[in-house]
Chains A and B, each alone.
Chain A
């Protein structure tokens, strides 16, 4: 079945850039997502990218997709303490299939 892998922890200093990496196995993945989850809260969709794109930028967020290596990354520029959260990578193939999530990367921002 499909599998999505992420590193579990990342610690950065305030003001630095954060890069969270994700790899997936499903070659038919069409949509790839990044979600943010703060403690005790639900999921917040940060951004998404279609498999026919290489890069997408939205304010401080940059998503890079290497479809050949099945590698997705999320870069957060000028990381702030409010960015501390768990970030989930997710993918789905097409249609109304459910998302498949990675285990999440816990980002800690040190002031």
Chain B
């Protein structure tokens, strides 16, 4: 089946630094990827929709200058949290939309970011 990986699986960084999270579709091409954020004991909140070769579409209330998304190829999207602060600490999950092998949205395992 389709597999989506994320790297790193967890990261601890100091306040003010930037962190890059990678999302890869391992055995399929993904023209569209989604980035979600999940706070403890809460649901997934869609942050942005990333389309290969074009600018990401951000949901209302998500700062595009803070959460930089790049979808440079059909198998890789990156989320960079710039000038991270403790309130950015969260679980970030990406998903990739596959037309093949099935018309499905596949999720990565998530990246836990802790900003100290």
Contact residues of A with B, CB < 8 Å? 35, 40-43, 45, 88, 92, 96, 98-104, 106
A-B contact pairs, 21 of them (CB 8 A): A35-B107, A40-B112, A41-B109, A41-B110, A42-B107, A42-B109, A42-B110, A43-B44, A43-B107, A45-B104, A45-B107, A88-B43, A88-B44, A92-B105, A98-B46, A99-B34, A100-B46, A101-B43, A101-B44, A103-B42, A104-B42
Q: Which of chain B's residues 24-55 have a Cβ closer than 8 Å to chain A?
A: 31-32, 34, 41-44, 46, 49
Using a Cβ cutoff of 8 Å, how many contacts connect chains A and B? 38
Contact residues of B with A, CB < 8 Å? 31-32, 34, 41-44, 46, 49, 93, 95, 97, 104-110, 112
Residues in A with CB closer than 8 Å to B97 are 96
